[in-house]
Amino acid sequence: MGRLRRAFAAPWARRTLRLVQHLRALGLALGGQAGARLAARIQWRTSPATWLRLVRAAPAPVAPAPQGIGVDEWAGRRGPRYGTILVNLEDHRVLAVLPERSAQTVATWRAQHPTITGVCRDRSALYADGIRRGAPQAVQVVDRFHLVNNLREAVEAFLPTQRVALQAAAALTVQALTAVAGSVSPPRR
């Protein structure tokens, strides 16, 4: 009989274990005030403080091991002091903030996390070396910002060499637009 009672409610509890599970789930989804309002509508008498207490007592969810990470530098303050930030690309959580910007620090951290198969990073050779040392099998890709930056630099280097061709293309475009505009009759009033 005692075992059945403990499965139903904890000793000296005012709520059943099942009700606590329901309240905690609603508290995690809605928060204190909204949860208390919903509980009042379904005739569960609780206060916002109770909801928050149940949510705080809930066990932290176990995060799955990261598969892909983003690596970038950060500056704590303006100046020459830089660190490294590592972000889980699946849920955008910060995994670690490393105190320095070095290949050895990244390699050490990466070696402790063998589940990572892909790394998105900036163009830094320092990070490339650290990732290569810590995880030679991981696929490295350039992040979107630096990819667009590479494209911009390539286009800026290419266009000045093509000035004659660009002027000829502009002249042909003007001729074509003039011919189209001349063939269209004005609207009648």
86 and 46 in a single domain? The answer is no
73 and 134 in a single domain? The answer is yes
88 and 39 in a single domain? The answer is no
Question: What is the mean predicted confidence (pLDDT) over 150-157?
Answer: 93
182 is a domain residue: no
Give the residue numbers spanning the domain of 103.
68-147
41 and 72 in a single domain? The answer is no
Query: What total number of domains does the chain contain?
Result: 2
73 is a domain residue: yes
CATH of the domain at 93: 3.30.420.10
Q: Has residue 2 got a pLDDT over 50?
A: no
Question: What whole-number percentage of the chain has pLDDT above 70?
Answer: 93
Query: How would residue 157 be classed by pLDDT, with cut points 50, 70 and 90?
Result: very high
Question: What is the mean predicted confidence (pLDDT) over 50-65?
Answer: 82
143 is a domain residue: yes
Q: Are 51 and 27 in contact (CB under 8 A)?
A: yes
- Per-residue model confidence (pLDDT) at position 135: 80
91 is a domain residue: yes
Q: Has residue 11 got a pLDDT over 90?
A: no
85 is a domain residue: yes
45 and 81 in a single domain? The answer is no
Query: How would residue 63 be classed by pLDDT, with cut points 50, 70 and 90?
Result: confident
33 and 78 in a single domain? The answer is no
51 and 104 in a single domain? The answer is no
- The pTM score is 0.56
Inter-helix orientation angle 32-41/48-57, to 10°: 120
76 and 137 in a single domain? The answer is yes
113 is a domain residue: yes
First-to-last C-alpha distance (Å) of the chain: 96
Name 94's Cβ contacts closer than 8 Å, sequence gap at least 6: 85, 86, 87, 88
